[in-house]
Amino acid sequence: MKQPRLFSSNEIYIDEFNDRIILIVRDQHEIVGLNFCQGTDMEVFCDHYNEIDHKLTETYRALKNILVGDTEMDKINNLMWAWFEFPKSIRE
């Protein structure tokens, strides 16, 4: 009998160490969407950040193999710290 397999998922992480809430959207384990909200206010996140940021996602997919970090979440957080520092004109 074949085992069930993950088709897609939306994951929300509260990362208190980095003071942010992170949205990760996966399709068959591959990240297809990211977004984040600095701070840990879930109401603010749900009202304003609970959808894919396509520019952030494209940037992650382009750089994921060269981002520094021991885990996928480390790499995502490092990208988000850099993204936070990018001039707004680059992000939009």
SS3 for 36-77, per residue?
EEECCCHHHHHHHCCCCCHHHHHHHHHHCCCCCCCCHHHHHH
CA 66 to chain centre: 16
pLDDT above 70 (res 59) = yes
Mean pLDDT of 48-60: 95
What is the pLDDT at residue 12?
96
Residue 24: the pLDDT is: 97
Asked whether the predicted pLDDT for residue 90 surpasses 70, the reply is no
pLDDT over 80 at 69, yes or no: yes
Which helix (H) or strand (E) segment is 8 a member of? strand 8-15
Q: What average pLDDT does the segment 21-48 reach?
A: 94
- For CA atoms 62, 90, 82, 47, give the dihedral sign: negative
Q: What is the pLDDT at residue 19?
A: 96
